[in-house]
Structure 1
Amino acid sequence: MTSDQRTQQRYSVLAVASSAGGIKGLGTLLSALGTELRVPVLIVQHLDRKHRSYIAEVLARRSLLPVKLAQHREPVEAGTVYVAPPDHHLLVGSDGRLSLTSTDLVHFVRPSADLLFESVAAAYGDQALVCVLTGTGVDGAKGVDTVKAYGGTVIVQDPLTAEFKGMPDAAVATGAADFVLPLEDIAATIRGLVDTKRQ
């Protein structure tokens, strides 16, 4: 994405985090995002660190957008979904390139939603859009606070509709959520936000 495009668009990136129940939730979200989303999508899904993951292949079956495991130092492209590999934190820099690290676990997990969201906030500021879906634990709560502090926008799955409400509950409790929505309504909201021009 060029700097001119980033100047025109209200949002320049979408970051999504999920844990327990997340494969189903992500599939529902991705299948409804359409084929022409004008931002890259970065996903952290908590996975068993000991096993090879087929998450990209599984999600690709539901997604109308191309899905791939993120690679270290690759540049992000609009309309592509990048999934954190098992046992690696996923971050993005201000140069639009991804980083994979094996630094310490955060809230007992790696990859960490908090680290992804914090990197997105620092790189994209008020052009960051993040979403917390179903999951156990509190990962993502600190990150959405950071995104909000940088002027970004936070969407959280309504805990009452989440298969596991720990992560959504923790995110809502921060007070940083701009939208708290049933899973089925999130994709349409994202599309509407991404299609909005900067004022």
Structure 2
Amino acid sequence: MNNEHIHRPYARVEAVVIGVSAGGLDALSVLLEGFPTDYGLPLIVVQHIPEGVASQLAVIFDRKLALRVKEANDKMPIESGCLYFAPPGYHLLVETNRHFSLSIDPRVHFSRPAIDALFESAADTWGPALAGVLLTGANADGAAGLRHIAEQGGLALVQDPAEAQVDTMPRSALALFTPHHVLPLAGLRELLLQLDC
């Protein structure tokens, strides 16, 4: 994929949000493989996690990746070049000062953390400087949030449903609007790496 495939309005992305559910561990492992230590954008992930269960995602991916990896905390400033995971039991939101906040508002699509909550708050903060990625999953969470990213001028990316371990989540997005790119994980990875150029 050459740089000309990334339209000019999306060449100055400042943050990436990623939503994933069933099949997420494998999908994220493929998507983020080979990201360099000096990758310049924050990567913020909501993976559906059962409440009351301690998340090991940050530990697992800290061992797998060259990136810095953290579990997001309330009021934590968002830093470039870091991979953040939402903690279980809380919606992860982005404030206008580009710090995180945690919320115990009602579940969205039976989920807390919910992808829609992250995507919508991040879109309101970064506007056209945001890229959103929706991956494999078993419900419709993330579809409306990804559309909101596109409506705010951001870049909307969806995993090819034919490749997804569970295709409900990407298909829900495609039923709601037309994203900018529908790609397999390898193509999404290449595009995200180019966004940091």
TM above 0.5, one fold? yes
2:195 is matched by which residue type in structure 1? Answer: L
Q: CA deviation at 1:176?
A: 3.7
Secondary structure of the residue that 1:100 maps to in structure 2?
strand
Corresponding residue number in structure 1 for 2:6: none
RMSD across aligned positions (CA): 1.1
Secondary structure of the residue that 2:107 maps to in structure 1?
coil
Corresponding residue number in structure 2 for 1:5: none
Q: CA deviation at 1:172?
A: 1.8
1:36 aligns with 2:38: yes
Distance in structure 1 (CA, Å) of the matches to 2:110 and 2:131: 25
Distance in structure 1 (CA, Å) of the matches to 2:115 and 2:90: 11
Corresponding residue number in structure 2 for 1:72: 74
Determine if contact 1:43/1:84 at 8 Å carries over to the other structure: yes
Distance in structure 2 (CA, Å) of the matches to 1:33 and 1:94: 27
Corresponding residue number in structure 2 for 1:99: 101
Spell out, residue by residue over 1:134-191, the C-alpha distance to the aligned partner (whole angstroms, 9 max, x if none).
1110000000111111000011100000001111111122224111111122111111
Q: CA deviation at 1:49?
A: 1.0
Distance in structure 1 (CA, Å) of the matches to 2:175 and 2:35: 27
Corresponding residue number in structure 1 for 2:65: 63
Note closer, same or farther for the CA distance 1:32–1:168 as it changes in structure 2 (3 Å cut).
farther
Secondary structure of the residue that 2:41 maps to in structure 1?
coil
Spell out, residue by residue over 1:20-67, the C-alpha distance to the aligned partner (whole angstroms, 9 max, x if none).
000111111122332222111110000111211111111222222111
2:110 is matched by which residue type in structure 1? Answer: F
* 1:165 paired residue among 158, 163, 167: 167
Which stretches of structure 1, 4 residues or more, deviate above 4 A after TM superposition?
Answer: none
The aligned length equals 187
Spell out, residue by residue over 1:60-113, the C-alpha distance to the aligned partner (whole angstroms, 9 max, x if none).
222221111001001000000110001111011121100111110001001011
TM-score by length of 1: 0.90
Task: Name whichever of 106-115 and 167-176 sits farther off.
Answer: 167-176
Task: Name whichever of 54-63 and 136-145 sits farther off.
Answer: 54-63
Corresponding residue number in structure 1 for 2:83: 81
2:183 is matched by which residue type in structure 1? Answer: L
Corresponding residue number in structure 1 for 2:50: 48
* 1:26 paired residue among 25, 28, 32: 28
**Which structure 2 segments of 5+ residues have no match?**
1-10
Secondary structure of the residue that 1:20 maps to in structure 2?
coil
> What percent of counterpart residues are identical?
36
